[in-house]
Structure 1
Amino acid sequence: MSHVVISPIDNKPFATINLATGEQVTETIERSKKAFLLWKKVPIEERVRVVSKFIEAFVDKKDEIAEELTRQMGRPIRYAGGEIDGTAERARYMMSIAEESLKDVEIEDSDKPGFRRFIRKEPLGPILIIAAWNYPYLISVNGVVPAILAGNTVILKQSSQTPLCAQRFADAFKEAGLIENVFQILHAPHSEIEKAIKHPDIAYVNFTGSVEGGREIQKAASSKFIATGLELGGKDPAYVRSDADLDYTVEQLVDGSFFNSGQCCCAIERIYVHEQVYDQFVNKFVESTKQYKLGFPLKHETTLGPMVRTKAAEFVRDQIENAVKQGAKPLIDVSLFPEDKKNTPYMAPQVLVNVNHSMKIMTEESFGPVIGIMKVSSDEEAIQLMNDSEFGLTASIWTKDEDAAVKIGNEIDTGTWFMNRCDYLDPALAWVGVKNSGRGCTLSKFGFDYLTRPKSFHLKLITK
């Protein structure tokens, strides 16, 4: 059985991959378990050394990886290399903190002489990572590198839209000299992935994708006593206060809304602007949005490529149409973007005003190049609206007042709270979601806690 990857840039077949049978899936897991028994004994210093060589080998092929990425999911070539750089940044940070984060925790107590007590962070075993297509390398590295540094083995199931990305990781690990089968890739239909999750040797599942997909992952894993890491949907808000630097704020929020055609896990999807600066903000935002160049993503001048598939673009177009029927006002003349065509994944950016929370455009994940902007009269109103969501991945505030930013941030139900920036993952900070944005944690020193288990050593020392 095989799967054909259709490139969104021209709607033509780009690659064909063979899908694993049930027997092959089982064999992959069994190999992972055997490799785990070897890899977990490898000193952390050696694990770091191998991962360092992996990153060197990966970055060395940056240009060809970037073009291949563009052909698989449509991001303009001028930006595609940034994902390779970001992957290296995250991996290198996790390498830099691995020894300190994974070392034994010694318990010192002078009241109990004759004992040695410590807690060891044991690796879990074979870990199944199921990655999404929108940032296939960045999403994968969040789990793959920390898991391997912690002494686990990894089976990576990449999205069927970006399967070649998994092979790039495999090639780089092979070049780095990683023990065979510590890292494996798996292309398989959903039915077989469900069986893999239920396999007794899979110790943890990390999934990035839709809320519906997360529920299926959780359901499959519930037959065993294992944890899952789930990064799911988002409807990330921004609040522009009256004291914001408008030129800077507009520049950042336009990029946060439309980069990668809005197909970012933490893209800005709704903006609330204080009434004192609302008109100025909207005018500047619209003018900046008009500067995008929608077109063929392999041309360097293109700044907005196609969405991943026509179906995704039509979903966003329907959201916009329904909002307009309910009274929303579109501010972008689509004719400014001649490449925008219905029944294709090429879609112009759109800015909507006169929106409210009765419209799906302000409550339902769009994952596309559209933004709704609402006027608010106070911090309190902004807080209420930002929290009026089933999601909670990131949220941002744009202000010169740090104290106000922290105070308001304490009231927002979100995994990450930004001041004067957005749409960015700092590997030193815990990447988490609340509500329907998921559970678990990746990156930072806390990410290792989800890839290990504490094992207590209680030693009574006998002396003659």
Structure 2
Amino acid sequence: MYTTQLLINDKWVDASDGATGETINPATGAVIGTFAEATSTDVDEVVTSARVGFESDAWQGMSPDMRGRLLWRVAELIEANAEELAALETLDQGQPTSVSTNLSVPLAAQVFRYYAGFTTKIEGKVSPVSIPNQLTYQQRVPLGVAGLITPWNFPLDIAAWKLAPALATGNAAILKPAEQTPLSTARLVELCREAGVPAGVVSLLTGGAEVGRALVAHSGVDKISFTGSTAVGQEIVKTVSRDLKRVGLELGGKAPSIVCDDADIDAAVAGNLQGALFNTGQACGAFTRFFVHRKKVDEFTSKIASAADSLRIGPGQDPETVVGPLVSEEHLERVAAYVKSGSDEGAQLVTGGGRVMGSLEKGYFFRPTVFTGVTDAMTIAREEIFGPVLSIMPFDDMDEAISRANNTDYGLVAVVWTKDLATAHTLPRQIHAGTVFVNQLPLIDPGAPWGGLGLSGWGRELGAYSIDEYTETKSVFINLG
């Protein structure tokens, strides 16, 4: 059994009222640990501690070079503890070992190294003002205390790509992981302490939605970075309107995949299957709406349904597993309700469609599900399911495909499959999405921005753009007369 506490002012403590919550192994339904369920008093204390940490000489007096070395040291510690972190991610979240070992942990280390290089490159500029005898320049300064609220689908990675730029720019950070998956984030915070991050600069709050609401509403927090559902993101915007704190939101998605008539169908089937079922479809960038040229739709449907039906389903610890469990019983019921709505609204179920029973029935396993006969108005075509559900829809010409792909309130990710170079370069400009992939999976790299349009959120994470998300511009006027 794992036990995690709150980190407040560099001390691990229980919740002020002693309350705890349980975290579950989604592959078995068994309790694997407890976490401190923070109270509003704990939130007040952690914000006060973070403010002291932010303003401390140990942090504000640290040179950019030393801050970069600190982030680099965190990356080294992530790699040194890679096996443990991957095991925690698989145990707590359910993702296959191939994902946690080969993607989640390496990417987290890579993100810290990337932002370690930015600490010495946060530059301002001199402005040529027209006022006589003036030297006027701008600086990029940290915002202060940043509340970082992360989701349950990729706990370690998303914590890393919020925390690393927040620290690189000189902020103090309060991490609040999803209550379903606190374990890897708690371990990351321990590694930050081991690396030498000064007291109060990194803190940990655990608990449910009320803890997140208290953090968002707290007047001592200068920035909220949230990854999660669109509904919660909208609630956050309403809350922060009271004090106008800075906010960044990476929310839902309903990614279209356009398979052109000249596409390599076998490559499109393989890529779309991986893009749709990566982490059991529990990814905001997962491919979910498949617009396939009518000439190719029957071949595509037959091949992708057959391939989906053959995938190994099982616990993430099994190295042969391709499709792991959904994160919770509640989420499995949500996915099942969407699948039922698809059938009720007239879509044709090709394969899948239900919970895995037998030896896996205690876990939260759901079969990869493929629908045809889906219309743009159906619930499964409009709402984010966040599970292994694929909707296939034929199209006749590119104008139709683009219009239907853009017929959504979301705008996070899209993908195009084509052999034509002109299509590969011209089509992405016409698609309403923050990132468009061509002939590949929805990959993420620290050097490229990630974020969406519309109900997919505000702002960008990763790349140089995160520096702007965690800094403000300050102008200085000096009278030389």
| TM band (smaller chain) | over 0.9
Query: Could you say what secondary structure the match of 2:83 adopts?
Result: helix
After TM superposition, give the deviation of residue 2 of structure 1 in Å.
0.8
The question of whether the paired residues in 2 share the 8 Å contact of 1:340 and 1:348 is answered with no
* Range 212-221 or range 176-185, more displaced: 212-221
Do the aligned partners of 1:272 and 1:375 also contact (CA within 8 Å) in 2?
yes
**Correspondence 1:215 to 2:234:** yes
Change (3 A) 1:193 1:350: closer
SS of alignment partner, residue 444 of structure 1:
coil
The residue type paired with residue 377 of structure 1 is: D
Instruction: Tell me: CA distance 1:425–1:104, structure 2 relative to 1, closer, same or farther (3 Å).
Output: same
1:72 to 92, 113, 128: 92
Q: Is the 8 A contact 2:253 2:284 kept in 1?
A: yes
Q: Is the 8 A contact 1:294 1:339 kept in 2?
A: no
Q: In the alignment, what sits opposite 1:371?
A: 390
1:63 pairs, out of 48, 64, 83, with 83
Amino acid at match of 1:417: V
Write the letter of the residue equivalent to 2:63: P
Give the alignment partner of residue 92 of structure 1, picking from 113, 128, 131. Answer: 113
Task: Output one character per residue of 1:359-405: Cα deviation in whole Å (capped at 9) or x when no partner.
Answer: 11111111001101111011111111111111111111111233323
Q: Distance in 2 between matches of 1:219 and 1:340?
A: 45
Shift of 1:108: 5.7
Q: Is the 8 A contact 1:104 1:119 kept in 2?
A: yes
Q: Quote the offset at 1:147 in angstroms.
A: 0.5
Identity over aligned residues, as a percent? 30
Q: Which of 397, 401, 404 pairs up with 2:423?
A: 404
Q: CA deviation at 1:5?
A: 0.9
In the superposition, the TM-score normalised over structure 2's length comes to: 0.91
Q: Work out which of the residue numbers 197, 202, 205 in structure 2 matches 1:178.
A: 197
What residue number does 2:5 align with? none
Preserved contact between residue 354 and residue 366 of structure 2 (Cα < 8 Å)? no
- 32 and 279 in structure 1: CA distance in 2 versus 1, 3 angstrom threshold: same
Moved more, 212-221 or 122-131: 212-221
The residue identity in structure 1 corresponding to 2:139 is R
Which residue of the partner structure matches residue 33 of structure 2?
15
What secondary structure does 1:331 align onto?
Answer: strand
- Measure, in 2, the Cα distance between the counterparts of 1:108 and 1:339: 73
CA apart distance, 1:205: 0.3
Give distance in 2, aligned partners of 1:248 and 1:336.
28
Pick the aligned partner of 2:125 from 90, 94, 105: 105
Instruction: Give the counterpart letter for 1:71 in structure 2.
Output: L
Count of residue pairs brought into register by the alignment: 460
Q: Structure 2 regions of 5+ residues with no counterpart?
A: 1-18
Report how far residue 24 of structure 1 moved.
Answer: 2.0
Which residue does the alignment assign to 2:344? 325
Letter in 2 for 1:238: S
Q: 1:6: Cα distance to partner?
A: 1.9
Q: Give the direction of change, closer, same or farther, for the CA distance of 1:240–1:203 in structure 2 (3 Å limit).
A: same
Q: Name the residue aligned to 2:282.
A: 263
Distance of 2:123 and 2:86 partners within structure 1: 36
Change (3 A) 1:311 1:345: same
Q: C-alpha separation between the residues in 2 aligned to 1:112 and 1:334?
A: 70
> Residues 324 and 334 (structure 1 numbering): CA distance in 2 closer, same or farther, change over 3 Å?
closer
Change (3 A) 1:118 1:370: same
Letter in 1 for 2:40: G
Equivalent residue number for residue 425 of structure 1: 444
Aligned match of 1:3: 21
- The superposition leaves residues 40-86 of structure 1 with CA deviations (integer Å, 9 ceiling, x where unpaired) of 33222111110000111122111111111111111122322120011
Check conservation: 1:273, 1:376, Cα contact below 8 A: yes
1:204 to 217, 220, 223: 223
Distance change in 2, residues 1:128/1:181 (3 Å):
same
Q: Secondary structure at the match of 1:99?
A: coil
Q: Which residue of 1 aligns with 2:369?
A: 350
8 Å Cα contact 2:447/2:463 also seen in 1:
yes
The one-letter amino acid of 1:9's match is: A
Give the gaps of 5 or more residues in structure 1. none
C-alpha contact 1:341 1:347 (8 A) present in aligned 2: no
Q: Say whether the 8 Å CA contact 1:313–1:344 is kept in structure 2.
A: no
Deviation at 1:193, TM superposition (A): 3.2
Aligned-partner Cα distance in 2 for 1:344–1:189: 22
Task: Tell whether the 8 Å contact from 1:158 to 1:165 is kept in structure 2 after alignment.
Answer: no
Deviation at 1:286, TM superposition (A): 2.1
In the alignment, is the contact (CA less than 8 A) between 2:67 and 2:119 conserved in 1? Answer: no
Closer/same/farther in 2, CA of residues 185 and 376 from structure 1, 3 Å limit: same
Post-superposition Cα deviations, 1:80-103, rounded to whole Å, max 9, x if no partner, equal: 212001112222223334433x11
* 1:23-422 map, 5 Å: 23-38=41-56, 39-81=59-101, 82-100=103-121, 102-107=122-127, 115-332=134-351, 345-422=364-441
TM-score by length of 1: 0.94
In 2, Cα distance between equivalents of 1:323 and 1:241: 25
Is the 8 Å Cα contact of residues 147 and 176 (structure 2) preserved in structure 1? Answer: yes
State the distance in 2 between where 1:408 and 1:76 align: 34
Displacement of 1:429: 2.0
1:178, distance to aligned residue in structure 2 (A) = 1.0
